[in-house]
Amino acid sequence: MAQHGPAPTEPATAGAPEVSLTIPVAPEMEIVATAQADALGEYMDMPRDKIDEVKLALVEACINAFEHAHTEDNQVHITFRVGGSTGDWLEIEVRDRGRGFDAEGVESPSPQKTFEERRRRGWGLHIIKSLMDEVEIASGDWGTRILMRKYK
């Protein structure tokens, strides 16, 4: 590896083609954002079904920011990174400058709670974790940042 290599804090992503997208908090803008995941997934030859999984995970991260973050700037910031020597993975970072939440404290959902206790919501984060290969959530009074990666 050359000396101009990765910075210590972002080991795997330095040098990866990076695309940033900012969308407004507005109905259906999450779908507009998925167009970017689609285009980058095709660019890196990710199989269609995996692209669909990435798109749904992105949708869930966006609608969480829309619904729960109460951002001041009314925006959601998304960064896409294609990494690995032959475009092996797609990483998506979704950030809001909202009020944050206690990610550890979120109760896990289950079909039983959903059907028997009629608590039908609360699946977003679980779906993101199920569909992506790696997920990291950081949240605080500065907002929320979800980092998720899918290998092709």
Ligand X SMILES: Nc1ncnc2c1ncn2[C@@H]1O[C@H](COP(=O)(O)OP(=O)(O)O)[C@@H](O)[C@H]1O
Which residues form the interface with ligand X (CB under 6 A)? Answer: 64-65, 67-69, 96, 98, 100-101, 106, 121-126, 144
Greatest alpha-carbon span in the chain: 58
Crossing angle of the two packed helices 48-68 and 124-131, in degrees rounded to 10 = 150
Give how many residues touch another protein by CB under 8 A: 33
Q: How far is the CB of 120 from another protein (least distance, A)?
A: 4
Nearest distance from C-beta of residue 11 to ligand X, angstroms: 25
- The distance from CA 128 to its chain's CA centroid, rounded to whole angstroms, is 8
CA dihedral 45, 87, 143, 141 (to 10 degrees): 150
- Rule CB under 8 A: say whether 152 interacts with a copy of itself: no
DSSP alpha helix (H) spans, the chain: 29-43, 48-68, 111-116, 124-131
Chain residues 53-82 in contact with another protein, contact rule CB under 8 A: 53, 55-56, 59-60, 63
Please say which residue, 48 or 120, places its beta carbon nearer to ligand X.
Answer: 120
Q: If contact means CB under 5 to 8 A according to the sort of partner, which of a copy of itself, ligand X, another protein, none does residue 147 touch? A: none
Q: How many CB atoms within 10 Å of residue 102? A: 8
Which residue, among 63, 64, 41, has the nearest Cα to 52 in the 3D structure? 41
- The stretch near a copy of itself (CB under 8 A) out of 33-41, 86-94, 112-120, 140-148 is 33-41
Least separation, in Å, of the C-beta of 88 and a copy of itself? Answer: 17
**By the rule CB under 8 A, 117 interacts with another protein:** no
